[in-house]
Amino acid sequence: MRRDQLSDAIERDSDQIATLWGELFKKQENATRAEYISSIVVNSITAVDTFLMVRKLIKNYSGVFSLFKKGKKRKR
């Protein structure tokens, strides 16, 4: 009985997440030209900011990332 309740709860949550995800990426049909341009500018700034943040993290923490790489054998 508990398994059925959990299954129903998971199904409801899954439907709710799918609905919210769809609303998040819904295209605005009646957007003015100014809103369209401002959304492009905001998305571009976000993309550049993300790129710079990832670049900075890789530069500062490159030692951590190298721990996961397999070491190359030196040729003698």
Q: Tens digits of per-residue pLDDT, 37-49?
A: 988 899 999 999 9
Q: What is the mean pLDDT of residues 40-66?
A: 89
Backbone angle region of 75, left / alpha / beta, with phi > 0 → left and psi within -120 to 50 → alpha: beta
Per cent of the chain over pLDDT 90 is 41
Task: Please give the torsion angle defined by the CA atoms of residues 28, 30, 35 and 37, in that order, rounded to the nearest 10 degrees.
Answer: 80
Check pLDDT > 90 for residue 72. no
Q: What rounded mean pLDDT belongs to the chain?
A: 84
| Least confident interval from 3-17, 19-33, 45-59 | 19-33
pLDDT at position 73: 57
